[in-house]
Amino acid sequence: MNVLVKSATIVDPKSDFHNQTVDILIEKGTISQISKRIQNSKNYKEIRRDNLHVSQGWFDSSVSFGEPGYEERETIANGLDTAAKSGFTAVAVNANTNPVIDSYANISFLKSKAEKHAVNLYPIGALTKHSDGIDLAELFDMKTAGAVAFYDYQHPIANPNLMKLALQYASNFKGLVCSFPQESKISGLGVMNENVTSTSLGLKGNPALAEELQVARDLFILEYTEGKLHIPTISTAKSVELIRAAKQKKLDVSCSVAIHNLIFTDEHLKTFNTNFKVLPPLRTQKDIDALISGVKDGIIDMVTSDHNPIDIEDKKIEFDYAKYGTIGLESAFGALNSIFTIKKTVELLTNGRERYAVDTTPIAVGNSANLTLFNPNSTYTFTKDHMFSRSKNAMFEGHNLKGNVYGIIANNQLVIQ
């Protein structure tokens, strides 16, 4: 693939051309020249867009696609196309499929389905067999096959000894163990944040305590085992402080937050719109303020769309019975860019690569082109026209966003809108 990107402002602190508006010549998938003005002497395809900005390709650490088993929600092929159109050149895909991704063969299947695509798929293997929380899965075999982490998606590990064994065993090959932050006996049958809002709506509450107890427990176990732990999608102010204290102790812990938990409060559930039913649940403004502060000061290492397509039959039903989840790849950039600077937004969308052992490629001559192309200043209302997923369960539908994605250049391919 040969292409000339014209008048693009580079947003990449690791590049010598950071904050400069330049032309970028890409030949056979490699950046061959970066300059103020490049003549198109070979008549390559040119990319010109309004207010064009370019950064390193974005990465999402928590994406669900459904296939195998739930293709009615999303397929791998369409999921990767959605990621590309949303600006992501790499995604880590969860194991919540049928069958659960818990073996060498399952990991190999995922990787084979993503071959030759512009977006790189990085499988996350289940931490326990069938994600049932009883016995550890084949962690080392999955690592050998290409798994970048181990996580029973949204299934907490109830047995603390099992978590201890997982951290100890995975440390032998520097495996990243993920633990969903929820104590199920405390959360019970709660379907939203336990608060005055849940009482007024007559819905069972899932208290912040359920998350914070699990986070505290896992951090104690981490300190004992000296393992490598990632806590995905925290949602409370206290969780931020617990992880802050752990990092001050130099424990090997990282955490993420779902983008919607930085924007929406439990007040949005007053209409009983099941697109707002997510796990962990939407919390309070106090929690949002603490989470945003945690993002800004680096206690929260990365953000995720926590993209989770759910078919209409499992969403357009009574709130108590609706499944948890919202799609989020398509709205990720516009939502983040609405609350952070463009520099911080791009930083957050690329931060998780190192933790998940995903290659980082600065924008420099001689490097492979792994780029996201976007306009940070456009504003629009997010509608179904902006959704590329097969499922349309979007929490951000009808909300104003800032910034749109033009496409990506990655794996010697161009995906452009």
Main-chain dihedrals φ then ψ at residue 231, nearest 5 degrees: -105, 105
Helices of type H across 69-207:
76-85, 104-113, 139-145, 160-170, 184-187, 196-201
Two tokens, residue 333: 């950039």
Sheet containing 302-304: give its strands across.
58-63, 88-93, 120-125, 149-150, 177-178, 229-231, 253-258, 302-304
Tokens 């357009």, located at residue: 316
Within 10 angstroms of residue 378's Cβ, the number of other Cβ atoms is 14
CA contacts within 13 A on the Cβ side of 343: 5
Bridge pairing between strands 229-231 and 177-178: parallel
Q: Residues 203, 191: contact at Cβ < 8 Å? A: yes
Question: Annotated catalytic residue: which of 218, 252, 306, 311?
Answer: 306
**Helix and strand tally (H, E) in the chain?**
11, 18
CA contacts within 13 A on the Cβ side of 157: 29
| Cα 300 from Cα 5, distance rounded (Å) | 34
Q: Residues 417, 405: contact at Cβ < 8 Å? A: yes
Main-chain dihedrals φ then ψ at residue 376, nearest 5 degrees: -80, -10
Q: Residues 382, 394: contact at Cβ < 8 Å? A: yes
354's CB contacts (< 8 A; 6+ apart) are: 360
Q: Residues 152, 127: contact at Cβ < 8 Å? A: yes
45's CB contacts (< 8 A; 6+ apart) are: 2, 3, 4, 414
Buried b / exposed e over 167-197, threshold 16 CB at 10 Å, is bebbeeeebbbbbbbbbeebbeebbbbbbeb
- Residue 311 appears among annotated catalytic residues: no
The residues that are catalytic are: 306
